[in-house]
Amino acid sequence: DKVGVIGVPSCKGQSAGGVQHGPKALRQAGIIDKLTQLGVEVYDYGDLVFEQFDDDTPILGLKNPKNIGLAAKKISDQVSRVIKDDQIALTLGGDHSLSIGTIHGHAAAEKNMCLVWVDAHADINTPLTSPSGNVHGMALSFLVKELKEYIPQIPHFEWIKPCISAKDIAYIGLRDLDPGELWIVRNMGISCFTMHEVDRYGIDMVLRMSMQAINPHGDRPIHLSFDVDSLDPRISAATGTPVPGGLSVREGIYIAEELAATGKLTAVDLVEVNPLLGTKEERDLTVYAVYMFIISGLSLCVI
C-alpha cells in the first residue's frame, strides 16, 4: 500500500503549549524512514501551514473558533486529496481537534467509512456541554449526524457537514467521560469498549466486537483515530490530559495490527503527543510507543 504523511502542528484545540511540536517529534523518531525500509511507499506532504489569527474570541465558551475552523478546512481538503490518490492518509498531530478535518475529508473521499476512536476520552462534548471550551474534547460532536440539532452555529464551522452516524463509531480505551458525553454515548447508541471491557474481554475480543458492530462485512474503509493518551500514562506521560489505567503498548500495537490486517485501513490520526510535557525519558517513551504503534500496523499493509 501507499501511505501519505500529513503533518498537522495544531495546538489551539487545547491549552498546553507544545503539542504543535508533535509532528516534528514523530518524524524525528524515524517513522517515515522505517516505513520506507519495510517496503511501504511513503509520500511525505510535509506540515500544513496555518495562518494565525489573534482576533479569535471564544463563542459560547468554545476557544479559538476561527483558527480551528479554518485549519480543519485545510486538513479536510488535504486528507481527501491523499485518499483519492489511493494512499492511506497518515496524519501526525497536533491536538485531537484536527480529527474534525481528517474525518470530514475521509468521508468526502469514502462515503461508507467507519471510525475506531482509541482514547481515554470520548471527545464528543458539544460546545454547550464542554467543561473546558477546548475543541479537542468536542471534535466528534460536529461530525455525528444524530447530534446536529444539539450543535449551535459556530462561526468558521458552518462548512462542516455531519458525515458519520453514531452506529459507525466504536470507542476503545475510554475511562474519563464528562456528564454530557456519558448522556450522548448512552443515548446515541455508540459502540463503547471502555477499559472495563478491555479488562473483561481482552483486546482481541474487543476488536472483534468493534468490527462486528461497525464493519460486519469487512467492506468499509476504516478511520483509526489514535489519541496517545489512550495508552497508560506510564508509557505515554508526554500528553496534555493523561488518565491512569490505560492500554499497554502491546494492546495498542494489537489494535493497529488487527485493523491494518483487514486491508481496509484508509486513514490514521496520531494525536496529542506533546514533547514539552514530562521528562526527556517520558517524552522519548511516549514517542516510541506511537512509533511502535504505527510501524507495527502499517508494515502489515505491504504484505
> So which residues are the catalytic ones?
96, 119, 121, 123, 136, 227, 229, 272
Binds Mn ion by CB under 5 A, chosen from 181, 229, 258, 269: 229
DSSP characters for 38-63? TT-EEEEEEE------S----BTTBS
**Residue linked to cell 475506531:** 116
CB nearer to ligand X7A: give 168 or 269. 269
- Which own/partner contact pairs does 125-128 have at CB distance under 8 Å and 24+ positions apart? 125/178, 125/180, 125/181, 126/150, 126/151, 126/152, 126/180, 126/184, 127/59, 127/60, 127/61, 127/62, 127/151, 127/152, 127/154, 128/60, 128/61, 128/152, 128/180
Binds ligand X7A by CB under 6 A, chosen from 64, 130, 225, 299: 130
Does an H or E element contain 4, and which?
strand 2-8
* Under 8 Å between Cβ of 103 and 271: no
Cα–Cα separations (whole angstroms), residue 169 to 82, 113, 188, 226, 273: 22, 10, 11, 13, 23
Nearest distance, CB of residue 135 and ligand X7A, angstroms: 9
Binding to Mn ion by CB under 5 A, coded x per residue (else -) over 31-70, reads ----------------------------------------
Reference 88, options 26, 49, 43; nearest CA is 43
**Residue linked to cell 482481541:** 204
Nearest distance, CB of residue 177 and ligand X7A, angstroms: 7
CB nearer to ligand X7A: give 60 or 261. 60
Residues 140-169 interacting with ligand X7A (rule: CB under 6 A): none
Q: Is 121 in the site for ligand X7A (CB under 6 A)?
A: yes
- Residue 269: which of Mn ion, ligand X7A, none does it interact with, CB under 5 to 8 A by kind? none
CB nearer to Mn ion: give 32 or 232. 232
Q: Is 175 in the site for ligand X7A (CB under 6 A)?
A: no
The number of residues that bind ligand X7A (CB under 6 A) is: 18
Query: Could you give the CA distance from residue 59 to residue 293 in angstroms, rounded to a whole number?
Result: 37
CB nearer to ligand X7A: give 98 or 213. 98
Binding site residues, Mn ion, CB under 5 A: 96, 119-121, 123, 227, 229, 241, 272
Site residues, ligand X7A (CB under 6 A): 96, 119, 121, 123, 125, 130-132, 134, 136-137, 176, 178, 227, 229, 240-241, 272
